[in-house]
Amino acid sequence: MYTERFSEVWSLLGQIRAVAATTEQNTGYVNLANYHRVMIEILPVSLTGALDVDVEQATTTAGAGAKTVDSGGKDVTVAQADTTPSIIELRTEELDVTGGFDSINVEVTPGAASYFWVNIWGGVPRFAPVSTTNLDSVTD
């Protein structure tokens, strides 16, 4: 029987809370040093224009040395009026680890007034269980 809970191995690291925006929005840089995998959820609610989603990497959570993640396919465009969720998966070794890059930011640029939500989940932790301090509650 499989007994591991999602909340024991995946941690909510950052987000853009449901927002109606016409300008670029960012999650802010989050550190991935304690995770091997990342899942970025893009949840479009109401789009009057496309969403351009870019994943940026940096050497600190302050954004030092920021650049895009070069592993192809990490940037997506969500079409206008599309309300289907999108997922970007990332392994931390896809970052420029030799350059010391261990933090990411998700940048979302709406083409027009749009309502959306973005979550960054860190998974496969180096030390389990992960923190649940970013969650309101966890129930079985």
pLDDT of residue 71: 60
Q: What number of residues does the chain have?
A: 140
Q: Which CATH number does the domain 8-122 belong to among 1.10.530.10, 3.40.50.2000, 2.60.120.380, 3.40.1010.10? A: 2.60.120.380
pLDDT of residue 81: 86
Whole-model pTM?
A: 0.89
Question: 71-115 pLDDT, tens per residue?
Answer: 667 889 999 888 999 999 999 999 999 999 999 999 999 999 999
pLDDT of residue 30: 97
Could you tell me which residue, 37 or 5, shows the higher pLDDT? 37
**How far is the C-alpha of 50 from the C-alpha of 111, rounded, in Å?**
5
Phi, psi of 33 (to 5 degrees): -55, -25
pLDDT of residue 140: 67
Helix/strand/coil for 6 = helix
Contacting residues for 63 by C-beta, under 8 A, at least 6 apart: 29, 56, 103, 105
Question: 35-82 pLDDT, tens per residue?
Answer: 999 999 999 999 999 999 999 999 999 999 999 887 667 889 999 888
Q: Confidence band (pLDDT; 50, 70, 90) for 2?
A: confident
Q: Give me the torsion for CA of 92, 7, 12, 84, rounded to 10°.
A: 90
Q: Confidence band (pLDDT; 50, 70, 90) for 19?
A: confident
